A and B are shown apart, each in its own frame.
Chain A
């Protein structure tokens, strides 16, 4: 019988059988073992996310950064800038919504990191790649595929100069 032969066969020979049907055949036993390995890999991946979150917490910019003069960005316009002093260079947009009302958000869409832009005609932030829309005041997603709000910076205007800084209650810091 083939079964009795199987038990005597060394593992290396069982792994590299001569006949094709034996090579392509996957038993339910092997499939179950594979699922066990897959389950372990997923647990490991989940652990990697935790390690990454602890080792590299959110890199909020420290201190205050001068962006431009107030007169450079008229109402309904936006200005792009990059904070180079953070760990990574992150592009941001500064929006002049109304007289004295400013907002600053990360320019990367939370869906697939496309560059978002402010549209004054609809007073929303648009991601042109997949037509995602964000609230121009809170950065919350309104429509389309973006799953999360745009990270926001605090904007301070002093003596006609616009500065940005990390927003204090922006994100839940890891404890």
Chain B
């Protein structure tokens, strides 16, 4: 018996592919922003500018949480 999920997958065969690419692009963007935050934190921490270091740390952790959240939506591997 075919259900709704199967019909959806059949109607949109490229959906998994698009979803996967979208998630990967978003993760790469997140990592890019985190590298920038790390660079600014390091540069400012060297000048004893602790507030920037704390703000960028909070931002970086939030982005990490977002990236973990995105991983939840990774399409299941083939055959499952």
Binding site for B on A (CB under 8 A): 1, 3-4, 6-7, 27-29, 31-33, 35-36, 38-40, 42-43, 45-47, 49-50, 52-54, 57-58, 110, 147-148, 171-175
Contacts and interface: CB of A to CB of B under 8 A. Distances in A.
B30 A32 contact: no
A175 B53 CA distance: 13
Given A53-B53, A174-B50, A147 B43 contact: yes
Interface residues of B, number: 39
Given A43-B63, A148-B43, A148-B46, A3 B78 contact: yes
A2 to B, nearest CB: 8
Interface in B20-36: 20-21, 23-24, 27-28, 30-31, 34-35
B74 to A, nearest CB: 6
Nearest to B37: A46
B57 A173 contact: no
B67 A6 contact: no
A46 B56 contact: yes
Given A31-B24, A33-B71, 4 more contacts: A35-B67, A39-B63, A172-B49, A173-B48
**What does DSSP make chain A's interface, helix, strand, loop or mixed?**
helix
Contacts of A38: 31
Contacts of B50: 50, 53-54, 172, 174-175
Contacts of B13: none
Interface string B54-80: 101100110110011011001101111
Contact of A42 (B31, B46, B53): B31
A42 B38 CA distance: 7
B53 A35 contact: no
B48 A174 contact: yes
A35 B57 contact: no
A73 to B, nearest CB: 28
Contact of A171 (B31, B34, B48): B48
B69 to A, nearest CB: 10
